Structure 1
Amino acid sequence: MKKQFNRMRQLANQTVGRAEKTEVLSDDLLQVGKRLDLVKQVTHSTHKKLAACLQGQQGAEEREKKSKKLPLTILAQCMVEGAAVLGDDSLLGKMLNLCGETEEKLAQELIQFEFQIEKDVVEPLYELAEVDIPNIQKQRKHLAKLVLDMDSARTRLQTALTTTRLQTVLSTTRLQTVLTTTRLQAVFRFKVISYFLFQDQLSADMYNFVAKEIDYANYFQTLIEIQAEYHRKSLEILQSVLPTIKAHQEAWVEKPSYGKALEEHLTISSREIAFPIEACVTMLLECGMQEEGLFRVAPSASKLKKLKASLDCGVMDVQEYSADPHAIAGALKSYLRELPEPLMTSELYEDWIQASNIQDMDKRLQALLAACEKLPTDNFNNFRYLIKFLAKLGDYQDSNKMTPGNMAIVLGPNLLWTHSNESGNMTEMMTTVSLQIVGIIEPIIQHSDWFFPGDIEFNLTGCYGSPVHTNHNSNYSSMPSPDMDQSERKLPHDHGRRPLSVATDNMMLEFYKKDG
C-alpha cells in the first residue's frame, strides 16, 4: 500500500513538474506504438467481420458436422429428396437431382474453403489482434511502471544525498543516513538495470512488429488467393454440369410451342408440321368444316386460353372441343400470330408485296410461286399444309360462308407482317398492307393444287394431332447432330410488334358482299 502511495505521489510530482521524469520510449517507438494501436483496432474489426462471413460454425468441430449445418448442404438434400418424390422420369425430377448433386459438391468446396480461411487468415488475425499486440501493450504499461519506480528511487536517493551533505557532525543519525543512502543507491541501480533491460526487450518486440508488417499483410493476400481458388473450383463444378442440364432441357419434347420459333419447335419435337397446326387442322376436319364464320367468329376467351395451354403441354381433350370449332380455329390463328417470325417470313416480305402489286394474274401467280419456292423447308411444309387445308375448307363455302377471299382477310395478317418502324398514318398503312396480303393469300388458296401439286395427309400422327410421345417415359427426342445440314434453316429475325388485323374491321363490308 505504501509503495503504491509513493508511486502515485511520484506520478503527481512529475505531472506538476516537481520531479524529474524519464521518457518511457523514444520518439520513433512512440510512433510505432501509435501505429500498433491502430493496427489492433483494424485487425480486431476485420477479424470480427470475416468470422461473421463464415457459414460454418467456428471452432474445432468435426468437418462432417459443420458440413451438415451449411445452408447449401440443406438445400442439396432438399433438392435430392424432391427429385426422388417427382421421379427420374420427369424433367423437373432430373433437374432437381442434378442440381442437388451439384449443390452438395459446392457445399464440400465451401466447407474446405472456410477451413482454410479459418486456419490461414481468421486465426492469425485473432492471434495478432488479441494476443501479440495486447502483449506489447502490456509491456508498455509495465515499462511505464518501471520508469515510475526508477524515477521514484532516484528522487529518494537524491533526497538522502542532500540530507547526508547537510549532516556534518558524526553521529548516530548521520550513520543511519549513510546506510540509508547506500541502500537507496543499490535500489536505484537495480531499478535502472531493470528499466533498461525491459526497455530493450520492448523495443525489440516493437521493431519486430514493424518488420513483420509484410507478414501481417500477407494474411490478406492469402485471403484473396483462397477465395480465388474456391471460386475457380466452384466454377469448374458448375461448368461441368451445365452441358448435362442443357442437354436434358434440349432433349425434352414437351416444350411450349406458342411463341416459340417454328424451327426450334420442329427440331425438338422431331415433327414436320407444327403440333398446334396439325392438331387444330385435324380436329377442324372432323367437326368444323361446315361451321359458319370459321376463323371469323371470336371464341370464348377463357376456352381459347385453356385450349392454348393444353396444346402447349401436348395434352388435348378432343371430345371437349369438338363442339366448339371456333375455339379450335382461334387457337390456330393465335399460334400463327404469336410466331416470332411470320410463317411466310419477314425476309421475303418485299417479294410477296411486289408479287401482289402485279396486275396480270398469270404473272402474279408466277411471282407468288417464285416467292413460295424461296421459303425455308420448315416454313414451306407448314405453309403448304395450311393452304391445302384452307382450300379444302373452301369446298364447304356454301355452308361456312368462308370463301378464299374471306379466309385471306381473316388469316392473311397472321401469316405475313412487317417489322418496319416507318412513321406515318399507321391505320392507313396497315389497311393497305392487309389488302395486299389478301391479294397474296386468296389466289394461293384458289390455285392451291397448282402451287402445291398432289394430295396431302393431314392427320400425320393418326390421333387428331396428339403428340408422338404421350407419357413421360418417352419425353426425350434424339438430339440433332451438330453436323446436320442447316442450309434450309433460317434463324428468326428480331421480334417486332406485328400490325393488328385491321382488315377484319376495315373490310367487313367487302366480306359481307362476298358472302352475298
Structure 2
Amino acid sequence: MSLGGMKKQLNKASQYMSEKMGETEKTKMDEEFIEMERKVDATQKAVTDLINHTREYLQPNPAVRAKMNMMNKLQGKDMKYRQVEGVLGEVMVKHGTDLGHESNFGEALKEVGEGMIQLSEIKDSLDVSVKQDFIDPFYQSFDKDMKEVLHHRKKLSGRRLDYDYKRKKGAKVPHEEVVQAEQKLDESLELAGSSMFNLLAGDVEQVRQLAALVEAQLEYHRQSADILESVNDKLNKQIEEINSKPEKERTKRQLRTSSIAPADRTPTHTTPAIPQASPRHTAPPPKGLRCRQNKYISATQPSCKAIFDFEPENEGELAFKEGEILTLVAEIDDNWFEGMSQNGDTGYFPKTYVEVVVPL
C-alpha cells in the first residue's frame, strides 16, 4: 500500500471516530505501517548486536578491552590490542632461544613461534580492516538514517496524542484546531513512513558492508593458511633431516675429582664420584706386612672382609668375592669406601657389602 493510501485510510478512520458521540479511541495506523515499524525496530536491534559482537570477535578478551578503553580515555591515544597468537609466539621463541641451536626442539619452537607472531600481525590487519571497511561505515550510515526515523516517529507519536486529545474534547475545542492537528498528524505520518521506507529499501548498502566483512576475513584466512603451510613444510623437512642423521650415542661421564661425594647408595647401586684411575701398588711391601696370595696386606692396616660377592656395574668400581679381605684406602661417604683388593686392583664399593675388620 502506498503512503497516499495510508493517509486516506487514516482520514476515513478519523472521520468515523469523530462521528461517534462522546466516544474517542487512539488513532490506529494501518497494518502496513505497523509492519514497517516492526521491521525497523528489528533492523536496529540486529545492527547494534552485530557491531557489538563483531568487536568481541576481533578482541575476544573482555578484561583487555576494558583496560584498553580506560587507558585510551586517560592517555588520549589508541592502545594496540595484544593478540593471543603473538603472546604464544613470543613464549615459543624465548624458550627456543634458551634451548640453543643444537636442540632440534628449540629450533622447532622458534620456527613455530615466528609463525605465530606473523599470525598476530595479520590479525592486527584484520582488526583494522574490519573497523575501517565494515564497522565504521556501517554504523555511521545506519545511525544517520535511524536518527531521522526515530525523530519522525517521535513527532508522529506526539501529534497523534494531540489529535486524539482534541477530538475527545469535541465541541470544547474549535473545529479549526482539530483540522490543524489532523493536518500535522498527516504530515508526520508521511515523513515517518517515508523515512522508514528509505531505511528498509536501502538494505543493499548493509549487504555491501557484510560483504566487506567477509572479504576481510577471507583475506585473513588466506594469509593464515600460507603462513601455517610454510611452517608445516619447515617442520616436516626438519623431521626428515633428524631421521636421516645417525642416532646419537650417550657419552659416559666421569667426575674429575673425588672431592664430590656420590649420591646415597644401596646394594642396587650406581657408581659414586669416580676419580682418575688410581695407580696400582707396585712398590715393595714395607716392613710389618704379611703375605697373602702373593700380595701383601698389613695386619694393622685398615681393612674389611667381603660378606657378599660384588660385581661392578660402572667404571671405577672394585670387584671382589665373598670372604675376600680388602684394604681400605678412604671413606668416600656414608655409603661408599675406596679400597684395594688382594690382586692390587683399586676402586669403589658399597659399605653394605663388607664388614670392617680394622677401621680407617
Instruction: Give the TM-score taking structure 2 as reference length.
Output: 0.53
Whether the 8 Å CA contact 1:44–1:129 is kept in 2: the answer is no
Query: Which structure has greater helix proportion?
Result: 1
CA distance in 1, matches of 2:47, 2:124: 24
Other structure's SS at 1:214 match:
helix
Asked if residue 36 in structure 1 is aligned to residue 40 in structure 2, the reply is yes
User: Which residue identity lines up with residue 97 of structure 1 in the other structure?
Assistant: K
Matched residue, 1:196? 186
- In the TM superposition, 1:84-483 aligns within 5 A as 84-123=97-136, 126=139, 132-133=145-146, 136-137=149-150, 139-156=152-169, 158-160=170-172, 181=174, 185=176, 187-252=177-242, 255=243, 268-269=244-245, 313-315=248-250, 317=252
User: What do the CA deviations read for 1:142-181 (whole angstroms, capped 9, x no partner)?
Assistant: 312201212333454x4048xxxxxxxxxxxxxxxxxxx4
Of 50, 63, 66, 2:80 maps to 66
User: Which residue identity lines up with residue 247 of structure 1 in the other structure?
Assistant: K
Asked if residue 27 in structure 1 is aligned to residue 31 in structure 2, the reply is yes
CA distance in 2, matches of 1:194, 1:32: 21
Residue 87 of structure 1, CA deviation? 1.8
Residue 128 of structure 1, CA deviation? 7.5
Residue 73 of structure 1, CA deviation? 1.4
CA distance in 2, matches of 1:152, 1:64: 53
Other structure's SS at 1:66 match:
coil
CA distance in 1, matches of 2:160, 2:45: 27
Matched residue, 1:289? none
Other structure's SS at 2:80 match:
helix
User: What do the CA deviations read for 1:28-78 (whole angstroms, capped 9, x no partner)?
Assistant: 2211111222223333333333322222748796999425x2211111221
Matched residue, 2:52? 48
Other structure's SS at 1:89 match:
coil
Other structure's SS at 1:109 match:
helix
Whether the 8 Å CA contact 1:21–1:151 is kept in 2: the answer is yes
Whether the 8 Å CA contact 1:136–1:202 is kept in 2: the answer is yes
User: Which residue identity lines up with residue 86 of structure 1 in the other structure?
Assistant: L
Residue 24 of structure 1, CA deviation? 5.3
CA RMSD of aligned residues (A): 3.7
Residue 138 of structure 1, CA deviation? 5.2
User: Which residue identity lines up with residue 189 of structure 2 in the other structure?
Assistant: Q
Matched residue, 1:350? none
Residue 125 of structure 1, CA deviation? 5.7
User: What do the CA deviations read for 1:342-363 (whole angstroms, capped 9, x no partner)?
Assistant: xxxxxxxxxxxxxxxxxxxxxx
User: What do the CA deviations read for 1:448-505 (whole angstroms, capped 9, x no partner)?
Assistant: xxxxxxxxxxxxxxxxxxxxxxxxxxxxxxxxxxxxxxxxxxxxxxxxxxxxxxxxxx
- The 1:211–1:142 alpha-carbon spacing in structure 2 relative to 1, beyond 3 Å, is same
Other structure's SS at 1:314 match:
coil
Whether the 8 Å CA contact 1:29–1:206 is kept in 2: the answer is no
Query: Which structure has greater strand proportion?
Result: 2
Task: Count the aligned residue pairs.
Answer: 227
Whether the 8 Å CA contact 1:54–1:114 is kept in 2: the answer is yes
Residue 22 of structure 1, CA deviation? 6.8
Residue 137 of structure 1, CA deviation? 4.2
- The 1:29–1:41 alpha-carbon spacing in structure 2 relative to 1, beyond 3 Å, is same
Higher relative contact order (Cα pairs below 8 Å, separated by 6+ residues): 1
Structure 1 segments unaligned to the other structure (5+ residues): 1-12, 162-180, 256-267, 270-274, 276-311, 320-516
CA distance in 2, matches of 1:314, 1:29: 85
Whether the 8 Å CA contact 1:41–1:129 is kept in 2: the answer is no
Structure 2 segments unaligned to the other structure (5+ residues): 1-16, 255-360
Residue 202 of structure 1, CA deviation? 1.0
Whether the 8 Å CA contact 2:22–2:168 is kept in 1: the answer is no
User: Which residue identity lines up with residue 314 of structure 1 in the other structure?
Assistant: E
- In the TM superposition, 1:481-492 aligns within 5 A as none
Whether the 8 Å CA contact 1:40–1:128 is kept in 2: the answer is no
CA distance in 2, matches of 1:159, 1:189: 13
Whether the 8 Å CA contact 2:96–2:105 is kept in 1: the answer is yes
Identity of aligned residues (%): 19
Residue 124 of structure 1, CA deviation? 5.3
Instruction: Give the TM-score taking structure 1 as reference length.
Output: 0.38
User: Which residue identity lines up with residue 227 of structure 1 in the other structure?
Assistant: Q
Residue 207 of structure 1, CA deviation? 0.6
